[in-house]
């Protein structure tokens, strides 16, 4: 299972893979230990001595993991930890990575492996096996996002109370909501390791015009998607979700409108089966979000504004209850495989997805997995870079909404790379730029 071009690897010290492994991961791992420390600190030793003991062991094991990667140690197999995907991980490890270390193996593998190893540490315990060490961070960031959350709740309320009748208006609303869903991806917790509440507000400021939202999109197929979607009636649309909290909220605003406007009758939402890349959405995060929108989570919000949230929460719960929104989580999304291997590795998931009329892949990691995380020339066509995901029989239309946070990007017009590289060394991975890329699929 080799990528069609050299894989991104941390052995290249100029790469973002190298920066990630040497600078970002140690921070992420330290925060994971801090989180366990906090939770453990709140326990009563006379009531939960065993859980206390396990908590201490977890912190030690995570610290050891950090040591291993900082010392470029060899990768180790993942022991049987009872998680349903453990055999897949063992097979892949034995086949391809036995001789590799944290820097020599492809970055896509080592990064997924880091989160899987971390999960394994928890899975091997009795009292912490379902613990999400990133939940606290996700919750805090969401709390800090309330200004933008209320604004968007008002906006969708307005759109639903005064539905656009003209196609030209619907087109603009489609662009607006797709772009909100896209830029929600800028609040990813694994990149923004030091974010203040003020920074979050700035990132989410919704005072931006459509023009401004489109300015930094280096390749934008949204109009082509609209050309297709505007003819849809009561179709199935899928989201392969990325981050929980504000990004998920923006995705659900979009999903809400797709249902309300009649383009979709069912939205399938694909979450991660285990805690992943810090901020990715798990089923628990999704349920938590619905819960807090219903409850009095944002206590400082004036009551007239809360009404918008209440209405929205009620409607969303209704979508879940009557099967218009369907939440799923397949272990393939957290497997070591790039998405080129979807059909061969997850045939049931493939045939499920084939029933969709549009699959929207959110965020950076999903994009890296779509294009196999390798050194494509930036002018490579998106359809070429996603390989079988463009050509396989029955593959549905695919839309990637991605803010660029890794040094792989395709589908750019000639000249963009040279222009940006001359002035912004980090343009590919700073999160400032985005791509919106579409492939029409191959359904009969
Ligand atoms: O660390 C690798 C990476 O893909 C980054 O490039 C990005 O910051 C992060 O993980 C995940 O981003 P996203 O949440 O958009 O998938
Ligand atoms: Mg993510």
Domain spans of the chain, in order of start? 16-123, 135-439
Pick the closest to residue 428 from 415, 417, 436 (CA basis).
417
Nearest CA to ligand 1 atom 3: 365
Work out which ligand 1 atom sits closest to the CA atom of 24: 1
Give the pLDDT score at 302. 79
Largest alpha-carbon pair distance within the chain? 66
Quote the tokens at residue 377: 């020339």
Assigned architecture for domain 16-123: Up-down Bundle (1.20)
- CA-CA distance, 260 to 256, in Å (whole number)? 6
Please, what's the b/e burial string for 379-413 (b: 16 or more CB within 10 A of its CB; e: otherwise)?
ebebbebbbebbebeebbbbbbbbbbbbbbbbbbe
DSSP SS3 for 398? strand
Ligand lying nearest the CA atom of residue 373: 1
Q: What contacts 180, CB < 8 A, 6 or more positions away? A: 152, 206, 250, 253, 254
Work out which ligand 1 atom sits closest to the CA atom of 405: 6
Work out which ligand 1 atom sits closest to the CA atom of 363: 15
Give the pLDDT score at 4. 87
Pick the closest to residue 206 from 162, 251, 260, 145 (CA basis).
145
Give the pLDDT score at 196. 53
Q: Which residues line ligand 1 (CB under 6 A)?
A: 20, 111, 185, 188, 190-191, 242-243, 277, 279, 363-365, 368, 405-406
pLDDT tens string 92-107: 999 999 999 999 999 9
Indicate the CATH number for domain 135-439: 3.40.50.10880
Distance 85 CA to ligand 2 centre (A): 20
Total-model pTM = 0.95
What ipTM did this prediction achieve? Answer: 0.96
Give the pLDDT score at 306. 85
Ligand 1 pocket: which of 188, 251, 281, 428 to mutate (most atoms within 8 A of CB): 188
List of the chain residues with pLDDT < 70 = 1, 187-210, 296
8 A C-beta contact, residue 32 and residue 62? yes
Give the pLDDT score at 191. 45
Give the pLDDT score at 199. 55
Nearest CA to ligand 1 atom 10: 365
- CA-CA distance, 247 to 185, in Å (whole number)? 6
Distance 364 CA to ligand 1 centre (A): 5
Cβ atoms within 10 A of the Cβ of 3, count? Answer: 18
Distance 355 CA to ligand 2 centre (A): 25
């Amino acid at each position: 299972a080799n990528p069609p071009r050299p894989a991104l690897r941390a052995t290249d010290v100029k790469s973002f893979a190298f920066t990630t492994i040497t600078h970002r991961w140690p921070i992420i791992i330290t925060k994971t230990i801090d989180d366990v420390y906090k939770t453990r600190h709140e326990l009563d030793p006379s009531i939960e001595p065993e859980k206390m003991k396990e908590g201490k062991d977890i912190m030690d094991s995570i610290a050891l993991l950090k040591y291993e990667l900082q010392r470029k140690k060899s990768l180790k197999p993942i022991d049987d930890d009872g998680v349903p995907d453990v055999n897949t991980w063992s097979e892949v490890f034995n086949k391809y990575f036995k001789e590799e270390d944290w820097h020599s193996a492809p970055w896509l593998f080592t990064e997924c492996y880091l989160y899987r190893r971390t999960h394994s540490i928890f899975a091997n315990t009795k009292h912490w096996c379902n613990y999400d060490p990133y939940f606290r961070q996700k919750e805090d960031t969401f709390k800090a996002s309330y200004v933008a959350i209320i604004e968007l709740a008002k906006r969708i309320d307005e759109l639903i109370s005064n539905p656009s009748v003209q196609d030209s208006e619907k087109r603009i609303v489609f662009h607006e909501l797709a772009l909100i869903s896209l830029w929600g991806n800028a609040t990813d917790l694994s990149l923004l390791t030091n974010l203040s509440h003020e920074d979050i507000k700035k990132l989410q400021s919704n005072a931006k015009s459509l023009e401004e939202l489109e300015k930094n999109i280096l390749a934008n197929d949204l109009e082509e998607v609209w050309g297709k979607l505007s003819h849809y009636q009561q179709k199935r649309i899928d989201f392969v979700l990325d981050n929980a909290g504000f990004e998920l909220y923006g995705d659900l605003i979009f999903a809400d409108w797709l249902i309300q406007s009649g383009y979709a009758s069912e939205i399938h939402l694909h979450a991660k089966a285990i805690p992943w890349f810090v901020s990715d959405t798990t089923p628990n995060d999704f349920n938590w979000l619905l819960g807090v929108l219903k409850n009095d989570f944002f206590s400082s919000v004036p009551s007239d504004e809360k009404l918008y949230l209440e209405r929205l929460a009620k409607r969303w719960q209704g979508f879940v209850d009557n099967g218009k929104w369907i939440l799923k989580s397949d272990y393939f999304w957290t497997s070591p495989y790039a998405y080129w291997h979807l059909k061969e590795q997850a045939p049931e998931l493939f045939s499920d997805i084939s029933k969709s009329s549009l699959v929207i892949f959110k965020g950076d990691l999903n994009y890296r997995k779509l294009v196999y995380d390798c050194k494509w020339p930036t002018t490579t066509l998106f359809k070429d870079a996603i390989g079988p995901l463009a050509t396989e029989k029955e593959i549905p239309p695919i839309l990637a909404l991605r803010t660029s946070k890794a040094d792989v990007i395709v589908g750019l017009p000639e000249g963009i790379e040279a222009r940006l590289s001359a002035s912004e060394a980090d343009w590919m991975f700073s999160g400032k730029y985005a791509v919106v890329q579409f492939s029409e699929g191959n359904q009969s």
